[in-house]
Structures are given as structure tokens and as C-alpha cells.
Amino acid sequence: MRALSEGSGSVSAEEAVAALGLSEGGRPGLPRVVAIMVASIDGRATVDERSGGLGHPEDRALLRGLRAAADCVLVGTGTIAAEKYANLLDADQREARQAAGRTPHPILATLSRRGEFPWEVPVLGEEGVPKQLYSEREVELPANATETSLHVSDGGLRGALEHLHGERGVLSVACEGGPGVLRALLADDLVDDLLLTLAPLVVAGDGPTSLAGAALDPPAELRLAGVRRADDHLFLHYAR
């Protein structure tokens, strides 16, 4: 990515993630939460019902780099199903984590109030990926739910983050959406950093936007901490 700020040289996705300082953790009792999203110029979150049509190689490098650096990847069940999650990290990223004394994969965390999880999606049965599920009721885990823990609570996303921090030792969380999860995190002031990739496309239509749900009252206020570009894509870093 080419930095737009004056006097800056080339900044790789790896350097951009390292600059976040994820190992420092977050506020007392909570992990550091970095939300990452991609949107068209007019705010649409998908093209042909998938987010991939909006991306850029540097955007994908940023996403996978953030996954590799974080202790946990938080993503909504709808996004897991729509994007058919699998293979969160590349082999070299897993090896680098192990060389640093970490688990090969970050924890994959997701939440469903009614306990409805997309068990058919590959990542939920993937060996070596620790899964932490949150629900307001007990759920019978299927036979393919390897390395999966269920925490029953009505504490919502804040309760899930507190549990991840206090019981799973999570210092940093990469949140990949979807729009409803991101809105809920921003509404409850749980996002420390927001990485927004702005794609040079105008999509229109009735597809999902970057956030979904009622208007925030008052709107969440963030400060612009960095601007970079790759070709015609903009990479915006907002901080709490």
C-alpha cells in the first residue's frame, strides 16, 4: 500500500498490522478490538452477494495479516455462512505463529442468540482451529464440531468479549463483521480501531451496507489515524 500522508514511503500490509500494537491489549477487562470492513464508494458491502468483488490483493493481505496477528477472529454466523469460511491462515502464517510460541490459529468466535450455527461451513469442522461459540441457550454440538467450546450467556457481544479476555486470555480481536455485528460493537463503544477499505466501485441496488440496523444515537465518533492507497483502493484507519 502506498501511504498518502506527506513524507511517507511504501507501507506493507504486514507493517500496517504491526503498527496497531495488538499485543498491548485493550481497555481494562476487554481485548483490543480491530474491526475490518470493505465497502463501495456508495457504502455497499457486497457485489453479487459476496464481499470479494470489492477487494484488492492488498486488502486481502491486510485481512489475513490481521487474522495472523490477532488472538481471536470474531465474525457473525451470517457472514461465516455467506462467505463459506475456511482456511483462515496460510501455512507460513501458521508456522510464524508457532515459532512465536502461539497457537497455529487464532480462536474463531461467533455468536447466535438462538444457538443456530452454520455447521455445514468448513471452518466450523476444521481441525486445528479453536472455536468459541456464544448463545443464550444450550446447544447440542454435532460430531464434526472439533475443538469447539460453547458459552451460554445473555451478555451479548460485550459479555462475549469479557469472556474471551478473562477466560481465554485474548488480548486482541479482529472483527470481520457482518454489518449487524459491526453496528452492535460500535453502538456499545467496543471498537478500538476500524480499518475500512474503500473500493472504487459504485454498486447501488438494495444490497447490504457496511452497517445494518437502527441509526446510532448519537453517532459513533472516530478520528482518522491513517490513509493509504493501493491503485484506486483507499485504506482508511480510524481510531477510537
**pTM, 2 dp:** 0.89
For residue 157, the one-letter residue type is L
Cell numbers linked to 183: 453496528
Asked if residues 113 and 80 have their Cβ atoms less than 8 Å apart, the reply is no
Q: What is the pLDDT of residue 4?
A: 39
**220-232 b/e (C-beta count within 10 Å ≥ 16 → b):** bebeeebebbbee
Displacement of CA 18 from its chain's centroid (Å): 16
83 Cβ contact partners less than 8 Å away, ≥ 6 residues apart? 50, 51, 52
Q: Give the pLDDT confidence of 126-181 residue by residue, as tens digits.
A: 999 999 999 999 999 998 888 999 999 988 999 999 999 999 999 999 999 888 99
Look up the CATH number of the domain holding residue 91.
Answer: 3.40.430.10
Mean per-residue pLDDT of the chain: 88
Rg, C-alpha atoms of the chain: 17
Supply the range of the domain harboring residue 235.
2-239
Q: Which of 45-59, 114-128, 188-202 has the lowest mean pLDDT?
A: 45-59
Mean pLDDT confidence for 106-132: 94
The CA-atom distances, in angstroms, between 123 and each of 46, 139, 156 are 21, 18, 23
Q: Give the pLDDT confidence of 8-53 residue by residue, as tens digits.
A: 445 678 888 988 989 888 899 999 999 999 888 887 877 776 666 7
Judging by beta carbons within 10 Å of its beta carbon (0-12, 13-18, 19+), is residue 31 exposed, middle or buried?
buried
Q: How many domains does the chain have?
A: 1
pLDDT band, very low/low/confident/very high, at 6 (cuts 50, 70, 90): very low
**Counting runs of H as helices and runs of E as strands, what totals does the chain give?**
6, 10
Q: Give the pLDDT confidence of 176-195 residue by residue, as tens digits.
A: 988 899 999 999 999 999 99
19 Cβ contact partners less than 8 Å away, ≥ 6 residues apart? none
Residue 112 has pLDDT above 50, yes or no: yes
